[in-house]
């Protein structure tokens, strides 16, 4: 009486398991459509069936699994760094774009939002350009420094997913068509050195203070 035993020949992502006696295939992990092992939304695995003949004969079977899309990826914002001149005349500083690993309708149109600004006056605003892009516009020239602009971008999935991120804005000195951003970095270094110096001074003085009642 012929019988067969089954085994996996090729399972690139290691997602599957097969019963060696009856050939039942089950999944051992979540199947991800965005995996590098999935091509054109299809995952391919190969299996072997070996009989008990003498010599045993082997057959190969191919399993194609088509994967649908769910909204399981937040959109990504780019770029995350922008540089602008402190005396710039064009205050439309950067065009932001968003991408999503999911498929429609779980991608665009994206919703771009600017987090509420603190302080008495607003320094920038956000304008939507189209389904995938927006623009940050300064409302005034800013002093040379590094600024973090919090932005959220939301996809059109159901339910929608939101990515809260920051655009790092460097306001640099520009002279004769040359941009120098070293001053903003030097400012942070100087503040760090001042803090370390004060900390060191306090540590040096502490033993002297203890010597007096």
* Residue 204 forms part of a structural domain: no
Query: How far is the CA of 203 from the CAs of 13, 156, 189, in angstroms?
Result: 56, 55, 21
Q: What is the pTM of this model?
A: 0.69
| DSSP symbols for 32-65 | -TTSTT-BTTEEEEEEEEEE-SSS--EEEEEEEE
* Residue 213 forms part of a structural domain: no
Q: Report the C-alpha gap between 127 and 156 in whole angstroms.
A: 18
Q: Are residues 25 and 90 in the same domain?
A: no
* Residue 192 forms part of a structural domain: no
Q: Are residues 169 and 88 in the same domain?
A: yes
Q: Are residues 90 and 170 in the same domain?
A: yes
Q: What is the mean pLDDT of residues 98-125?
A: 89
Number of separate domains in the chain:
2
Q: Are residues 13 and 60 in the same domain?
A: yes
* Residue 164 forms part of a structural domain: yes
* Residue 157 forms part of a structural domain: yes
Tens of pLDDT, residue by residue over 142-178, are 888 999 999 999 999 999 999 999 999 999 988 877 8
| Mean pLDDT across the chain | 85
DSSP designation for 118:
P
Q: Are residues 35 and 84 in the same domain?
A: no
Q: Are residues 93 and 152 in the same domain?
A: yes
- Between 192 and 104, residue with greater pLDDT: 104
The CATH number of the domain holding residue 48 is 2.60.40.60
Q: Are residues 59 and 93 in the same domain?
A: no
Q: Are residues 100 and 35 in the same domain?
A: no
Tens of pLDDT, residue by residue over 23-40, are 999 999 999 999 999 999
Q: Give yes or no for residue 191 having a pLDDT over 70.
A: no
Determine the structural domain holding residue 141 and report its residue range: 76-174
Q: Give yes or no for residue 120 having a pLDDT over 80.
A: no
């Amino acid at each position: 009486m012929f019988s067969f035993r089954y085994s996996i020949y090729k399972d690139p992502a290691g997602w599957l398991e097969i019963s060696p006696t009856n050939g039942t295939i089950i999944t051992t992990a979540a199947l991800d459509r965005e995996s590098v092992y999935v091509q054109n939304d299809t995952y391919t695995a190969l299996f072997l069936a070996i009989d008990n003949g003498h010599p045993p004969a082997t057959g190969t079977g191919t399993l194609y699994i088509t994967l649908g899309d769910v909204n399981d990826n937040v959109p990504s914002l780019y770029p995350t760094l922008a540089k602008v001149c402190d005396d710039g005349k064009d205050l439309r500083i950067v065009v932001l774009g968003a991408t999503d690993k999911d498929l429609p309708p779980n991608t665009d149109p994206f919703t771009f939002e600017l987090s509420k600004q603190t302080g008495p006056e607003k320094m920038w605003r956000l304008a939507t350009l189209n389904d995938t892009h927006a623009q940050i516009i300064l409302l005034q020239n800013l002093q040379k420094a590094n600024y973090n602009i919090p932005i959220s971008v939301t996809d059109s999935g159901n339910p929608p997913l939101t990515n809260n991120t920051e655009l790092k804005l460097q306001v640099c000195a520009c002279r004769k068509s040359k941009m120098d951003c070293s001053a903003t970095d030097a400012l942070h270094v100087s503040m760090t050195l001042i803090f370390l110096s004060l900390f060191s001074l306090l540590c040096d003085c502490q033993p002297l203070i203890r010597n007096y009642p």
